[in-house]
Amino acid sequence: MSKNELFKNQFYLRLNDSKTIDLLSQLIDKTVSPTGTYKSENALLNAIVDEGIKVFVKAFIEKNLSGLSELTQSVDLPQDIYRSLKQIERTLDEFYVRHSIVEKMLAALFNARIAELSGTKISADDLLSGILMELPGILGEIKDMHDKARFNKPRGR
Protein backbone atom coordinates (compact mmCIF):
# COMPACT_ATOMS: atom_id res chain seq x y z
CA MET A 1 0.00 0.00 0.00
CA SER A 2 1.48 3.35 -1.01
CA LYS A 3 1.80 6.29 1.35
CA ASN A 4 -0.93 8.06 -0.62
CA GLU A 5 -3.36 5.13 -0.24
CA LEU A 6 -2.56 4.86 3.45
CA PHE A 7 -3.28 8.56 3.97
CA LYS A 8 -6.72 8.19 2.37
CA ASN A 9 -7.61 5.67 5.08
CA GLN A 10 -6.49 7.81 8.00
CA PHE A 11 -8.99 9.60 10.16
CA TYR A 12 -8.50 11.98 13.02
CA LEU A 13 -10.93 11.86 15.90
CA ARG A 14 -11.36 14.20 18.83
CA LEU A 15 -12.97 12.54 21.85
CA ASN A 16 -14.81 14.92 24.17
CA ASP A 17 -16.49 12.59 26.65
CA SER A 18 -14.25 12.00 29.66
CA LYS A 19 -15.90 8.65 30.43
CA THR A 20 -15.16 7.41 26.92
CA ILE A 21 -11.57 8.63 27.19
CA ASP A 22 -11.13 6.89 30.56
CA LEU A 23 -12.61 3.64 29.23
CA LEU A 24 -10.39 3.78 26.17
CA SER A 25 -7.33 4.42 28.34
CA GLN A 26 -8.20 1.41 30.48
CA LEU A 27 -8.64 -0.76 27.39
CA ILE A 28 -5.27 0.36 26.05
CA ASP A 29 -3.58 -0.33 29.38
CA LYS A 30 -5.10 -3.81 29.69
CA THR A 31 -4.98 -5.07 26.12
CA VAL A 32 -2.12 -3.37 24.23
CA SER A 33 1.34 -4.87 24.65
CA PRO A 34 3.81 -6.87 22.57
CA THR A 35 2.34 -10.06 24.08
CA GLY A 36 -1.21 -8.73 24.67
CA THR A 37 -4.41 -9.19 22.74
CA TYR A 38 -3.53 -6.17 20.55
CA LYS A 39 0.01 -5.36 19.51
CA SER A 40 -0.70 -1.63 19.06
CA GLU A 41 -3.20 1.07 19.95
CA ASN A 42 -4.05 1.25 16.26
CA ALA A 43 -4.98 -2.46 16.20
CA LEU A 44 -7.23 -1.95 19.24
CA LEU A 45 -8.91 1.13 17.74
CA ASN A 46 -9.49 -0.71 14.45
CA ALA A 47 -11.13 -3.58 16.34
CA ILE A 48 -13.34 -1.12 18.26
CA VAL A 49 -14.42 0.60 15.03
CA ASP A 50 -15.00 -2.74 13.24
CA GLU A 51 -17.30 -4.01 16.00
CA GLY A 52 -18.83 -0.62 16.80
CA ILE A 53 -19.89 0.14 13.24
CA LYS A 54 -21.92 -3.09 13.12
CA VAL A 55 -23.68 -2.24 16.39
CA PHE A 56 -24.30 1.33 15.27
CA VAL A 57 -25.69 0.31 11.86
CA LYS A 58 -28.00 -2.26 13.45
CA ALA A 59 -29.35 0.34 15.90
CA PHE A 60 -29.67 2.90 13.12
CA ILE A 61 -31.59 0.49 10.90
CA GLU A 62 -33.94 -0.47 13.73
CA LYS A 63 -34.80 3.22 14.17
CA ASN A 64 -34.96 3.97 10.45
CA LEU A 65 -36.25 0.88 8.66
CA SER A 66 -37.14 2.86 5.56
CA GLY A 67 -33.43 3.16 4.72
CA LEU A 68 -32.75 -0.56 5.15
CA SER A 69 -32.04 -1.51 1.54
CA GLU A 70 -29.62 1.32 0.76
CA LEU A 71 -27.75 1.01 4.04
CA THR A 72 -27.33 -2.75 4.03
CA GLN A 73 -25.94 -2.58 0.51
CA SER A 74 -23.30 -0.01 1.47
CA VAL A 75 -22.25 -1.60 4.80
CA ASP A 76 -20.70 -5.02 5.12
CA LEU A 77 -23.03 -6.54 7.72
CA PRO A 78 -22.60 -10.07 8.99
CA GLN A 79 -24.92 -12.38 7.03
CA ASP A 80 -26.99 -13.35 10.08
CA ILE A 81 -27.73 -9.70 10.88
CA TYR A 82 -28.53 -8.98 7.24
CA ARG A 83 -30.91 -11.98 7.02
CA SER A 84 -32.58 -10.99 10.29
CA LEU A 85 -33.11 -7.43 9.08
CA LYS A 86 -34.54 -8.60 5.76
CA GLN A 87 -36.93 -10.93 7.65
CA ILE A 88 -37.99 -8.03 9.88
CA GLU A 89 -38.59 -5.90 6.78
CA ARG A 90 -40.74 -8.64 5.18
CA THR A 91 -42.68 -9.17 8.41
CA LEU A 92 -43.34 -5.45 8.74
CA ASP A 93 -44.52 -5.26 5.13
CA GLU A 94 -46.89 -8.18 5.74
CA PHE A 95 -48.12 -6.62 8.97
CA TYR A 96 -48.74 -3.30 7.22
CA VAL A 97 -50.85 -4.98 4.51
CA ARG A 98 -52.92 -6.93 7.06
CA HIS A 99 -53.31 -3.84 9.26
CA SER A 100 -54.52 -1.82 6.25
CA ILE A 101 -57.14 -4.46 5.42
CA VAL A 102 -58.44 -4.52 8.99
CA GLU A 103 -58.43 -0.71 9.11
CA LYS A 104 -60.54 -0.50 5.92
CA MET A 105 -62.97 -3.17 7.13
CA LEU A 106 -63.46 -1.43 10.47
CA ALA A 107 -63.91 1.93 8.75
CA ALA A 108 -66.59 0.41 6.49
CA LEU A 109 -68.45 -1.07 9.49
CA PHE A 110 -68.13 2.19 11.42
CA ASN A 111 -69.39 4.24 8.46
CA ALA A 112 -72.25 1.77 7.87
CA ARG A 113 -73.28 2.07 11.53
CA ILE A 114 -73.17 5.89 11.39
CA ALA A 115 -75.27 5.83 8.22
CA GLU A 116 -77.74 3.45 9.88
CA LEU A 117 -78.02 5.70 12.95
CA SER A 118 -78.58 8.67 10.64
CA GLY A 119 -81.43 6.84 8.90
CA THR A 120 -79.55 6.14 5.65
CA LYS A 121 -80.07 2.73 4.10
CA ILE A 122 -76.88 0.80 3.38
CA SER A 123 -76.92 -2.21 1.09
CA ALA A 124 -74.51 -5.13 0.83
CA ASP A 125 -73.39 -3.68 -2.50
CA ASP A 126 -72.44 -0.44 -0.73
CA LEU A 127 -70.22 -2.38 1.68
CA LEU A 128 -68.70 -4.55 -1.06
CA SER A 129 -68.00 -1.60 -3.38
CA GLY A 130 -65.61 -0.02 -0.88
CA ILE A 131 -67.30 3.37 -0.80
CA LEU A 132 -67.57 3.18 2.99
CA MET A 133 -63.92 2.28 3.63
CA GLU A 134 -62.54 5.78 4.25
CA LEU A 135 -61.55 6.68 7.78
CA PRO A 136 -63.99 9.20 9.20
CA GLY A 137 -63.05 12.87 9.68
CA ILE A 138 -60.42 13.50 12.30
CA LEU A 139 -59.16 9.89 12.20
CA GLY A 140 -58.34 10.25 8.51
CA GLU A 141 -56.57 13.56 9.20
CA ILE A 142 -54.49 12.00 12.00
CA LYS A 143 -53.52 9.10 9.73
CA ASP A 144 -52.62 11.52 6.91
CA MET A 145 -50.35 13.51 9.27
CA HIS A 146 -48.68 10.33 10.50
CA ASP A 147 -48.22 8.87 7.01
CA LYS A 148 -46.83 12.14 5.68
CA ALA A 149 -44.34 12.35 8.56
CA ARG A 150 -43.41 8.66 8.43
CA PHE A 151 -43.45 7.95 4.70
CA ASN A 152 -43.39 11.49 3.30
CA LYS A 153 -46.61 10.85 1.42
CA PRO A 154 -50.34 11.03 2.25
CA ARG A 155 -52.37 7.82 2.32
CA GLY A 156 -54.09 6.73 -0.87
CA ARG A 157 -57.75 7.59 -1.24
CA–CA dist 25, 125 (Å, integer): 73
Predicted pLDDT of residue 96: 84
pTM of the model as a whole: 0.43
State pLDDT tens for residues 40-97: 888 888 888 888 877 777 777 666 665 555 555 555 667 777 788 888 888 888 888 8
User: Above 90 in pLDDT, residue 118?
Assistant: yes
User: How far is residue 138's CA from residue 146's CA, in Å, rounded to a whole number?
Assistant: 12
**If you count them, how many residues does the chain have?**
157
130 residue type, one letter: G
Tell me, what's the pLDDT at 157? Answer: 43
